[in-house]
Structure 1
Amino acid sequence: MADSRAEVAVIGGSGFYEFLDDATHVPLTTPYGDPSAPVAIGTVGGTRVAFVPRHGEHHAYPPHLINYRANLWALRSLGVRQVLAPCAVGGLLPSVSPGDIVVPDQLVDRTSGRVQTYVERGAVHAPFADPYCERLSNAVAGVDPDVKQGGAMVVIEGPRFSSRAESLSYAAQGWSLVNMTGHPEAVLARELLMCYSAIALVTDMDAGIEAGEGVGQAEVFAMFAANIARLKQILTRVLGDLPSPDGCACSSWAEGIDLTYEVP
């Protein structure tokens, strides 16, 4: 059905459970199980948009138990080719502060035990030197001069926060952000030939930044909630003027490769 198709998707982060007005909700199942919630579909700035809350309705799923494969596959099955992914992050370097919105350009995986690919047989190796779509990230950064661009986001398993020593070690590597959900989301989007950009809201400075400080769940959720309207405004502006994904390397990398999994 035409009203069940979408060109772009937004995956909502902690506390970001609704986005579209007058949306149609589409219950879907996938070869990988059910997504976190029924996918909402609506129109923003003339663009058909799909929305799914990453953690499910009412934050049902902790970061290590999210069905990332089902979420991305469900979105692709609706026609989605571009994904905007707001997320809560901790700051690791003085170059970022609580309340900043950052579009990172690198990702470091420090998760364990998560299924991070659709490849279950054969030789299929997705390029991931640049985890995020530069064209899409530039579009996000271009709508608000206060959006910071660049930096590496290290993704940890969770659901616990980092120890002070871990936080200090991440900062010593020059990584500027720490998060629990950015992987395998980004690589699964790449395997499904979709453009993907994280939009990171810095909710706190992580445990190793200053002695005597640590991060707590209440402050993370409060900071994210305080910035929901701002994030929605940025997303609305981006969605109203997105460049076409045609010809992007995110979707063309598999040309000449026999994929051993289905791209819906």
Structure 2
Amino acid sequence: MDETTPSPHLNPLQRFGHDVKQVRLARKLTQKQLGKAAGYSEAYVSRVEAGKMFPRPSMKFARGCDLAFGTGELFAGMLRRIDEGDHPSWFVPYLNLERKATRILDYSTSLPMGILQTKEYARAVFRSYHSGASAEMIEDKVAARLRRREVFERDTPPLLWAIMHEACLRTIVGDSEVMAGQLKHLLTAAASPNIKLQIMPFSAGAPAASTKPFILLHFADSPTVLYTETRVGSRMHDSAQTVEAALDDYDLLRAHALSPDRSLTLIKKLLKEYQA
């Protein structure tokens, strides 16, 4: 097979790397020159072209390639399609809005929201949800989930406020080692100025508001949107009345949850239990 023809056995990220290499060579650029133009190292370009970037090349790199190559939004579009292919079709509308949000208000009842999950935790979740899936498919889904963190790499990252029921911390996903890693990650995330965590303890008793998970997305130039989800699909709600009711619920949940400092104390206590 000609070197310029991608193998039909390449996965999407390998095809992306192959195409970057082919256009780079056509433009008579070295890996070092492309890296400089895109704001990355020569080694980074080499890993991209080899299809060895995990979870995937950054959107900033893809846009840098388009700028260096004069290809419009070709490579940026390729990455978006890779993302969309690794998520359920019903989740893509939310994903596109999450990338644009200025504030993300999350309430989770059994598992931390995907954007806060570690690789090992997400892998255990997907193995449970998709017990018949191949290892490769599971890893693609894990990589797609981790890529959602890129919203925090924006010039103006969103504020994420996450309220988690204590069940999110006590439901053992994977094993104690996986749980310890997940709780350590939550502590690290909470140290970011753009992330606030609160835990709704079992001791809070009957819920003061919604018993189902939901997310509110705020935007700089458009109305707030409410996102709700079930196993078979999701809904985006934009009616003022529905969104306002959800905002009221979130205020109640925030008031009944532990303070951010006390929430971190609880996470540290449970971390010691998982490490015992």
User: What TM bracket, shorter-length normalisation?
Assistant: under 0.3
TM-score, length basis structure 1? 0.27
TM-score, length basis structure 2? 0.26
Q: Could you say which structure has the larger radius of gyration?
A: 2
Higher helix share: 2
